[in-house]
């Protein structure tokens, strides 16, 4: 029988969280796909694993896999849930912690009202580091998809994002265009595709077709990338409330070289144990 897990969600972006600190766990892409399957397994958008820190400045390391089994660099909703998991399970005595992921260090603080504030670090905009096939950095890039050309922003928050501005997220072609954008050849590692509706200089709506998952109810790194794209294109001031289908994130970015701050919820749903074969 496998060790326990905790099901958590951040604005409906849902996770199976595993404790690799107390337990020795071997996570494989096949195992992730089984766990993430919403019929044959627990079901989730991403699997998150807590591990002992490797970097001296970090309190813990945490790893992220998308439902398709691919390991990725960062997850905004996930890092909030991981911090809450570590605190609730007595693995962290403090509501403030530094978590290490493949993208680097992320500083997290659980606030008095149970919201979680995260220093997501500065955005990466150099095409080669996103990675994105463009010769030089631009605020918007032409991207051809099935003989149509879209103007998109390209931003990495440790993981790759494109941001496409639309008039109305409710009518945006997320289901049809999302998969084509996710696998566009100009993004060698694939990409998360954000559909952004600007409501004002401090308000936005966003839907995200996530790499390795499909459309999720919320995407934390996607909200950060969308605000960065909007600030760089003159659409936003530095503080923006982003309404996603699953709820609201508050994002703050004061400009180049500065970190992106994200504040939002992290909610435990249930504890469980997976039967042999379901994990
Ligand atoms: N699908 C993303 C990882 C999860 C990001 C998202 N769930 C978030 O809250 O940031 C990727 O492949 O880069």
* Residue 39 domain-assigned (yes or no): yes
* Residue 166 domain-assigned (yes or no): yes
Residue 176 is predicted with a pLDDT of 98
Number of domains in the chain: 2
Q: Is 66 annotated as a binding residue?
A: yes
Instruction: Indicate which CATH number applies to the domain containing 41.
Output: 3.10.310.10
Query: Do 98 and 16 sit in the same domain of this protein?
Result: yes
Three-state SS for 189-230 is: CCCEEEEEEEEECCEEEEEEEECCCEEECCCHHHHHHHHHHH
Query: Do 15 and 105 sit in the same domain of this protein?
Result: yes
pTM score of the predicted model: 0.97
Residue 1 is predicted with a pLDDT of 43
Query: Do 26 and 92 sit in the same domain of this protein?
Result: yes
Query: Do 117 and 134 sit in the same domain of this protein?
Result: no
Tell me the angle at which helices 76-88 and 220-232 cross, rounded to the nearest 10 degrees: 140
| Beta carbon of 246 within 6 Å of any ligand 1 atom | no
Query: Do 138 and 53 sit in the same domain of this protein?
Result: no
81 catalytically annotated: no
How many A from CA of 144 to the centre of ligand 1?
24
For the stretch 47-86, pLDDT in tens is 999 999 999 999 999 999 999 999 999 999 999 999 999 9
| Beta carbon of 13 within 6 Å of any ligand 1 atom | yes
Query: Do 48 and 87 sit in the same domain of this protein?
Result: yes
Query: Do 107 and 133 sit in the same domain of this protein?
Result: no
**Tokens standing for 150?**
């879209």
Query: Do 107 and 132 sit in the same domain of this protein?
Result: no
- Write out the residue range of the structural domain in which residue 157 sits: 127-258
Q: Ligand 1, residues 99, 210, 227: which to mutate, most atoms within 8 A of Cβ? A: 210
Query: Do 141 and 214 sit in the same domain of this protein?
Result: yes
Marked catalytic residue, from 44, 81, 219, 224:
219
Q: Is 73 annotated as a binding residue?
A: no
Residue 2 is predicted with a pLDDT of 66
224 catalytically annotated: no
Residues of the chain with pLDDT under 70: 1-3
Query: Do 145 and 110 sit in the same domain of this protein?
Result: no
* Residue 110 domain-assigned (yes or no): yes
Q: Is 76 annotated as a binding residue?
A: yes
Query: Do 108 and 55 sit in the same domain of this protein?
Result: yes
CA neighbor of 132 nearest in space, from 180, 50, 86, 190: 190
Q: Which residue's alpha carbon is at the smallest distance from atom 3 of ligand 1?
A: 75
């Amino acid at each position: 029988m496998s060790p326990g897990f905790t099901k958590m969600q951040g604005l409906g972006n849902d996770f199976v969280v595993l404790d690799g600190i107390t337990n020795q766990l071997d996570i494989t892409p096949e195992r992730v796909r089984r766990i993430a399957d919403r019929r044959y397994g627990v079901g989730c958008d991403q699997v998150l694993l807590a591990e002992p820190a490797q970097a001296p400045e970090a309190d813990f390391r945490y790893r992220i896999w998308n439902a398709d089994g691919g390991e990725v660099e960062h997850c905004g909703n996930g890092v909030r849930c991981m911090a809450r998991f570590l605190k609730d399970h007595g693995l962290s005595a403090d509501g403030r912690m530094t978590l290490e992921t493949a993208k680097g260090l992320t500083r997290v603080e659980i606030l008095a009202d149970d919201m979680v504030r995260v220093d997501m670090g500065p955005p990466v905009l150099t095409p080669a580091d996103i990675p994105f096939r463009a010769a030089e950095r631009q605020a918007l890039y032409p991207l051809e998809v099935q003989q149509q050309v879209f103007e998109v922003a390209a931003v990495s928050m440790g993981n790759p994002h494109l941001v496409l501005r639309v008039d109305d997220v409710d009518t945006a072609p997320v289901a049809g265009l999302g998969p084509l954008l996710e696998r566009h050849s100009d993004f060698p590692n694939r990409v998360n595709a954000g559909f952004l509706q600007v409501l004002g200089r401090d308000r936005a709506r966003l839907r995200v077709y996530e790499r390795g998952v499909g459309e999720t109810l919320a995407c934390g790194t996607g909200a950060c990338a969308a605000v960065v794209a909007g600030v760089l294109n003159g659409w936003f001031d530095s503080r923006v409330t982003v309404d996603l289908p699953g709820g609201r994130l508050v994002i703050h970015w004061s400009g180049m070289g500065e970190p992106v701050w994200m504040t939002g919820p992290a909610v435990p749903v249930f504890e469980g144990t997976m039967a042999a074969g379901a994990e």
